[in-house]
Amino acid sequence: MAAPTASHAAAPVFQTPEWETRTRPNRRSLLDRLLPGHAHADSSALDVEQQSVNATKETPAPIAATAASTAPLGHGASAAPSMRQRLDSVLPPDRRYLGRSRRSFLLFILLPLAILLLLVLPLAVGLGVGLSHHDSGAQSLPLPTNSATFTGELTYYAPGLGACGVTSTDEDFIASVSHLLFDAAAEGGSNPNANQLCGRKIRIQRDFVEASKGNTSVDVTVVDRCTGCAETDLDVSLGVFTQLALEESGRVEVSWAWVS
């Protein structure tokens, strides 16, 4: 078989040598030149993003959890702050209070003050109430400072040496006032002879007329203390009693007031 002719021979392929090929690297941006790691970070971020997209496409979406399983316990942000949180908001733990830590300030300063306040406040309230009751009681008593006219029962007794240190008889115009008045006027004094009611004058009046007795007034001097008399009662000598009532009456109602 004859050899192929030159016209049917394969056409020669010409290739440019590698050392003659013009290669030009990609032009770097200004940011890449200033931050060499920026380009690497961008490529890493792109790879991570691509991987996540692929994972999303390949992995089926999970079934949504029920509201009961995903709902937070309690009310979340609407829950009331705890006592510790309230204390921290009022007294921050990282601060100093009067040169002390918060713990020392609470234990050695604030707590003793609170205890002292709890002890003193009831005492002060009780003392104030007691003084107010004492003042109101003293003002309501028929003492010489009270200029009103009082009504009480009049009785008589056999006088002698009285609490004021004065010896009296049945004919003397004297009176014994209630122990409530006498003790209130003593103001803590231990000597009854120095009581401010001793020697005071009282005007006794009875409007009722009984066998020509009564409808008159008599002035008497305080010389004694009557333990069985009410606040507005008076115990007088027999001579005074018979000026206002019959002796056999024993007890009558009169009105009286302080004269001096």
16 phi, psi to nearest 5 deg: -80, 130
This prediction has a pTM of 0.48
CA distance to 13, 14, 15, 16, per residue, from 10 (Å):
9, 13, 16, 19
SS3 49: helix
Tokens of 11: 């056409």
105 phi, psi to nearest 5 deg: -65, -40
pLDDT, one tens digit for every residue, the chain (260 residues): 455 554 555 666 656 565 555 556 566 555 555 555 544 555 555 555 556 555 555 555 554 444 444 444 445 445 688 888 888 888 888 888 888 888 888 888 888 888 988 888 888 887 777 666 555 455 578 889 888 999 999 999 999 999 999 999 999 999 999 999 999 998 777 899 999 999 999 999 998 877 777 678 999 999 999 999 999 999 999 999 999 999 999 999 999 999 98
Bridge partner residues of 202 (DSSP)? 220, 258
52 phi, psi to nearest 5 deg: -65, -40
